Structure 1
Amino acid sequence: MKMSLYHQPFEAIKAGTKKIEVRLNDEKRSKLHVGDRIEFTDLTTSETVQVKVLGLEKFSSFKELFTKYSGEIIGEFENKSVTDLDLENQKIYSQTREAKYGALAIRIEILR
């Protein structure tokens, strides 16, 4: 599966600090399985990196997901609040789509 990322989270995956990718659990992501590979493309540089899916965890909302996972493991600053993470995420995914699909935490491991 192919997915795109902004530069900062892409670099965090490359560095090995971002171990969970946060996505809407839409039709595309609902087809993911443990053991699958994802190719992430940096939207700034077009560089790619391959990861293996180690785990999938579904949540009814991003707020619920951010209550469990925040900080470096999802590619964010440690001091960012759940509210701030949720508000930032609403710039990417509408509340209507979030209510329809829910959120997905994708535990990943970079393939070297």
Structure 2
Amino acid sequence: MDISLGDELFNKISKGTKTVEVFLNDEQMKHFGVGDTLSIHRESNNEDVILTSAWSIKKCRTMTELYQRYTPEAIGMEPKELSGIYDSATVKKQGLLAVKMKVLKPNYE
């Protein structure tokens, strides 16, 4: 699976502080599982890539549950910031997936 992140979040993964990526629990994520590779591209330069492996996937019904399991540092943003990406009605309907990542290989200089 390929995703694109802004420079700030990309750098947090590169430094090892952001270890959890959050997704809606939707159809797109239905076949994503532990051991699968997540290619994270830098939004400002799509050729900068960090390859990660999903070593844990937890379902969370609410943002509150997500932040009870993981720190804002591990997620890479505060609850208010994440709420700006995923609105509460959608989260309530679909839930969230917290993918704990292990960096395999940064592919940039």
TM-score interval for Structure 1 and Structure 2 normalised by the shorter chain: 0.7 to 0.9
**Identity across the alignment (%):** 31
**SS state of the match for residue 111, structure 1?**
strand
CA drift of 1:29 comes to 2.0
Q: Give the match's secondary structure for 1:34.
A: coil
- Hey, what's the Cα distance between the residues in 2 that align with 1:66 and 1:48? 27
Q: How much has 1:43 moved relative to structure 2?
A: 1.3
Q: Secondary structure at the match of 1:18?
A: coil
Task: Please tell me the residue identity of whatever aligns with 1:101.
Answer: Q
Question: Any unmatched runs of 5+ in structure 1?
Answer: 77-84
Q: Tell me the equivalent position of 1:88.
A: 81
> What's the counterpart of residue 59 of structure 2?
58
**Structure 2: runs of 5+ lacking an equivalent:** none
Structure 1 or 2: more strand by fraction = 2
SS in 2 for 1:48: strand
CA–CA distance in structure 2, aligned partners of residues 55 and 97 of structure 1? 23
| TM-score, length basis structure 2 | 0.84
Measured in 2, the distance between the counterparts of 1:72 and 1:95 equals 21
* TM superposition shift of 1:71: 3.1
Deviation at residue 87 of structure 1 after TM alignment: 2.4
User: RMSD of the TM alignment (CA)?
Assistant: 1.5
TM-score, scaled to structure 1: 0.82
Q: Which runs of 4+ in 1 moved over 4 A?
A: none
Is the 2:2–2:38 Cα contact (8 Å) retained in structure 1? yes
Q: Which amino acid aligns with 1:11?
A: N
What SS does the aligned partner of 2:45 have?
coil
Provide the aligned length of Structure 1 versus Structure 2. Answer: 104
